Structure 1
């Protein structure tokens, strides 16, 4: 992948340094015995002489590989060090990040920078340094509310991703699909056309990887309702949120697509043998029609072979009043270890801000920008209305976590097991889809009762 974006911003910063005599207005983080806030740091001018070693834990294992098709972590760090030569950044990645990151936190010995895992928001301040209040951080970054608690922001999203379906354009064309599906019925017809007219697997479930199945949870809010208040507010208080609303919307319509596709033989022959790494090359070569994954998957699928131009991204096939919506949500948010030294904290904030504003990371990864001043993205996702979830009401910031825990359904919180069970029941035929949803409604109702939730 070209380094055009990265080199361009580094060059601009270099010109700034020349204009200021290559001096640094702030160079010693311990001068004031406190960390200069995110919003007040001028990249390329402040702290250019700062010496520190920081560590970073994240989930992007692919970016540590020598054959990574995009910009690797090593390449980013080299560019960062052109501005900050004395800040050493040591990267560690983890394939089981969701669970292992929590273990790191619980040990008390964790990295300087981490992507915030699934914690209760009231516990953010125990582990992470506040980066600024919501008013000032909202002027700096998009999706600032994603790591807000009590008006304070604790993390900066690595990127923002849209929620849709990655697909192979040639497979769809060969199948005779001339218009992208916008409803569940149209999508099922498209899968059948792929099965009948091509050798490709219509819909690849990625069952065996586990975590990939949790992707389906991201579609039950904005994508299926068009309502920014649904996920963090209305769902918590809804009676029977998994019932059939009769209009191909809400959670019922989302998961039914998966159940019907498996039951109809429109997925891989043996779901237990799916291969996450292998599927990237398969869809690139046209051996898979589509997969339900966030837009973060697009560059990975493009980079897995010679068929990059064949990889496309489309909206999830649910329409509301003739319109399609997509959740534009924050990926893991970078946060700074509250127990690090002042020098380490300052270096960490600088590196996070550099990644956000100057590295070109979101552009290179075909994501939506986090930097408030940027509108640049490679993501081609036309005709879709992007929305973000409203934050929870004050006092209910952790209520979704509580309901997830009591119900064991874990929406947007590693709840891949329940989605895997949909595949299992559909394949075996031992439980109808309506019975699965009735079971979920019962679990949710019991959790609401245990948590003292007022049901509307």
Structure 2
């Protein structure tokens, strides 16, 4: 990475804009950069400390943050101009991989960066990396140990039937078993991270060749079917239109709700809420999804957001120095209880349950060369926000009797739209 970083930094210096000649003429970090972030909760605390440390290491630099509450929506608009900071998180729902080169500076070859960092394929297109992972997560569900123990569940369910039975026992104790986070929406989008749990690493390639992904036995059926069945059985909050993400942390910590399907990144936040409520951080556990095969659980690991450099930045040398420092030295992943993008880093304590259970981790295979954007193209053509939340809100509405259709009719419609879109995209 050192040699690659030096080479890339030199290249950036040669190609830099005239707006920050001190940085770009010398190839050394200098001057000011603006970093866009979605972490409104950290920008004045943790990130301010990071900036101070970085500026001390690189005298003459200044790091400013711009925190965006509606990160995806705001960046979608700003990408139409050149004004989207010097460093930013690649919007997950707005930019397909084949468009990365239009907006972001190349960071090096995928093969080279993959020797040092996890999840590099996810931030790459056609052999070139445009983003480096902020951290990674394993998929599962975060839960309140006391709530589940009180219901007699001390080991993770291995099947959907066992899981739903467990939720039923929790409800009998007067606790809401599961929380959808319907209103905020984005937590619903994250459950797509379970794609691959059963079908394996090449599941995306399978999906772009399949006219009916919402068929029993497939991951897409499992992900959305479990959501439907949970809500239809009455195991989620009474009125999902009034959910609140920040409040959900306190509800889980105080035992008013039992669980939420999320990435392991959420564990530390729930533990913080438990500690704030005067409880032990150990109250919060994290179990794998109930799709064990041959008594073995699998958890899909994937990156959270990717750090990238605006290709129009006037200070690419400092921007690159920030990306490298944040990834290698800030300790951000560890602070979030998440999987570090640095391959040699230790596993986080938040996954201690997984270690005890012998959960097998799975990272999805890269999409076939030339087909990196096909799954998104099909989804867009079908008007199914596969990596968003609106179609899952419709699933919840139907399951709770506030929308049209039932599980089978919903999935038949999704499959029909998917098949039609596949035919159109392949033409």
- What TM-score, normalized by structure 1, do the two folds share? 0.83
- Say whether residues 1:178 and 2:151 are aligned partners: no
Structure 1 residue aligned with 2:143: 167
1:34 deviation in Å?
Answer: 2.7
1:31 deviation in Å?
Answer: 11
2-structure distance, mates of 1:372, 1:252? 32
RMSD (CA atoms): 2.1
Structure 1 residue aligned with 2:263: 294
Moved over 6 A (4+): 29-32
Structure 1 residue aligned with 2:30: 51
Equivalent pair of 1:163/1:295 in contact (CA under 8 Å): yes
2-structure distance, mates of 1:373, 1:384? 20
Structure 2 residue aligned with 1:122: 98
- Say whether residues 1:191 and 2:171 are aligned partners: no
3-state DSSP of counterpart to 2:36: strand
Structure 1 residue aligned with 2:21: none
Change (3 A) 1:339 1:265: same
Match of 1:209 among 177, 180, 184: 184
Equivalent pair of 1:48/1:84 in contact (CA under 8 Å): no
Deviations, residues 314-336 of structure 1 (Å, cap 9, x unaligned): 11111223222111101111011
1:130 deviation in Å?
Answer: 0.6
Structure 1 residue aligned with 2:214: 242
1:290 deviation in Å?
Answer: 0.1
Change (3 A) 1:244 1:348: same
Structure 1 residue aligned with 2:3: none
Match of 1:322 among 279, 295, 298: 295
Deviations, residues 110-151 of structure 1 (Å, cap 9, x unaligned): 100011113122221121111111121112211111111121
2-structure distance, mates of 1:286, 1:155? 38
Structure 1 residue aligned with 2:394: 421
- What TM-score, normalized by structure 2, do the two folds share? 0.89
3-state DSSP of counterpart to 1:163: strand
1:309 deviation in Å?
Answer: 2.1
2-structure distance, mates of 1:398, 1:330? 17
Change (3 A) 1:321 1:32: closer
Structure 1 residue aligned with 2:22: none
Structure 2 residue aligned with 1:99: 73
Farther-moved stretch of structure 1 (265-274 vs 72-81): 72-81
1:377 deviation in Å?
Answer: 2.0
- Say whether residues 1:371 and 2:342 are aligned partners: yes
Equivalent pair of 2:193/2:302 in contact (CA under 8 Å): no
1-structure distance, mates of 2:225, 2:10? 57
Equivalent pair of 1:48/1:83 in contact (CA under 8 Å): no
3-state DSSP of counterpart to 2:137: strand
2-structure distance, mates of 1:152, 1:123? 12
- Say whether residues 1:303 and 2:275 are aligned partners: no
- Say whether residues 1:400 and 2:375 are aligned partners: yes
1-structure distance, mates of 2:401, 2:340? 43
1:48 deviation in Å?
Answer: 11
Equivalent pair of 2:10/2:27 in contact (CA under 8 Å): no
Match of 1:346 among 290, 304, 317: 317
1-structure distance, mates of 2:192, 2:65? 29
Match of 1:34 among 3, 11, 14: 14
1:389 deviation in Å?
Answer: 1.0
Equivalent pair of 1:224/1:254 in contact (CA under 8 Å): no
Structure 2 residue aligned with 1:432: 406
- Say whether residues 1:141 and 2:113 are aligned partners: no
2-structure distance, mates of 1:314, 1:31? 45
Aligned length: 400
Change (3 A) 1:424 1:122: same
Q: Name structure 2 gaps, 5 residues minimum.
A: 1-5, 17-25
2-structure distance, mates of 1:207, 1:278? 13
2-structure distance, mates of 1:330, 1:314? 19
Deviations, residues 362-385 of structure 1 (Å, cap 9, x unaligned): 111111111133234223222211
- Say whether residues 1:335 and 2:308 are aligned partners: yes
1:393 deviation in Å?
Answer: 0.9
1:358 deviation in Å?
Answer: 1.1
1:186 deviation in Å?
Answer: 1.0
Q: Name structure 1 gaps, 5 residues minimum.
A: 1-25, 37-46, 67-71
2-structure distance, mates of 1:404, 1:353? 34
Structure-to-structure mapping, 1:12-91, within 5 angstroms: 33-34=13-14, 50-64=29-43, 72-91=46-65
2-structure distance, mates of 1:448, 1:423? 26
- Say whether residues 1:272 and 2:241 are aligned partners: yes
Deviations, residues 239-263 of structure 1 (Å, cap 9, x unaligned): 3111123xxx522222222112211
